[in-house]
Structure 1
Amino acid sequence: NAYRYAGVVEAAYLIENITVEIIADGVHLPKPLLQLVINLRELINSSVYRCNEKCGNK
């Protein structure tokens, strides 16, 4: 059952000294994964970029 195993996104958080880049527009990642990033933001090297209409936001 694939729902019981961490996927690529979750596995990335297990690698030390990794920079994680996400598109936080609610389309590319579901809200629970965005919440995971928010909860772990102090533990990961993260940058925030604003998404505009070119990303699909209007």
Structure 2
Amino acid sequence: MIEFFVENVDDDYERIKNLTSDIVQKPTTMPWGNRSLLFRDPDGNLINFFTPTTEEAKNKFVK
């Protein structure tokens, strides 16, 4: 799986939903506080775009 921290998962979903027929999971808020979009690239690699949404999840990325 290749993961990318993105500014807004929902915006990226709107941008790519017509570019691939292989959406594995539409934007979903996960129990650990990330909003996540899963899809496959043309080679079949699983791609995760995610955006932290809760304060706890956001704090994991603050240095």
TM-score, structure 1 as length reference: 0.29
Which has more helix, going by share of residues? 1
Which has more radius of gyration?
1
Q: Which structure is higher in strand share?
A: 2
